Amino acid sequence: MPTYRIHLRRRNSVEPDMIGIVFPDLHRAYIETCRSIPETARDLLIDGADPMVCAYLICDDKGRQLMEVPFADVLSTAEIRVSRGAGGTRPTHQREPARDEAALISFRQIFARANAGCILLTPELVVKDINEYGRLHSHTDLEAVRDVYVLDAFDLAGPLKTILAKFWTLPQCGGTAQLVDMPYCVLDAAGNAINGWWSARAWPLVGDDGSVIGLAAWGEPSVTPRAGGKTAVLSA
């Protein structure tokens, strides 16, 4: 009887990491792979790795690749795919409180312990949560900005405000986006607040009916620019 294994492939890795779990059929391998992605993404973020460039490879017992499951495709919808694959059902429409709670659960599962500044917004771009690292390194009091429109919460104006608005356009439409070299106050190695830079990545959290229930971003501060100091938005 054939068996199936999963491998984790990271960007720039020569060989994928083999996961020591054997599955009796391809369907079960796919379901369990999707189920594990949020937790794996959280661990990758804690290690400083970008989960959006990783993928699981499902291979047969001869090592032949049968299926690729990119994290970028399923990260925000892993639970939904598992539910559908197992024959489960969920409401197709949610009122805003239920929608926001679902987004918050997903966000905290993935980002709470990440060593990067992470923020959760509603589809209306209202701040709902910031993880501990983000509160520390961005000098932001969550209670002061919760339920505040994000472009007002961070007190940006002029071209930077326009750039940040563009940054959120892609995830609102269901895509992912990268923001590089946004000037912002950061902490240096000694813990002093200095003028520095943030680079970030954002993607949508998607509900069971395919609608965007939240927008999540994670970013890292740097005392030196990563792309010459020219703030830009890129599609991921």
**Cα–Cα distance, 171 to 164 (Å, whole number):** 12
What per-residue string of b and e applies to 121-156 under the rule 16 or more CB within 10 Å gives b? bbbebbbbbbbebbbebbebebeebeeeebbebbeb
Q: Tell me the one-letter amino acid at 90.
A: R
Residue 126 is predicted with a pLDDT of 92
Better-predicted residue by pLDDT, 162 or 21: 162
Mean pLDDT across 79-103: 56
> What token pair was written down for 13?
């890795």
Confidence of residue 45 (pLDDT cuts 50, 70, 90): confident
The yes-or-no verdict on residue 231 having pLDDT over 80 is yes
The yes-or-no verdict on residue 120 having pLDDT over 90 is yes
From first CA to last CA, the distance across the chain in angstroms is 40
Task: Tell me what percent of the residues of the chain surpass a pLDDT of 90.
Answer: 11
Query: pTM score > 0.85 for this model?
Result: no
pLDDT tens digit string along 153-180? Answer: 877 778 888 888 888 888 877 777 889 9
Evaluate whether 217 touches 114 at the Cβ level (below 8 Å): no
Name the residue among 177, 141, 134, 179 with its Cα closest to residue 161: 179
**Cα–Cα distance, 169 to 162 (Å, whole number):** 11
Q: Give all strands of the β-sheet with 117-121 in edge-to-edge order.
A: 127-130, 117-121, 212-222, 193-206, 177-187, 232-235
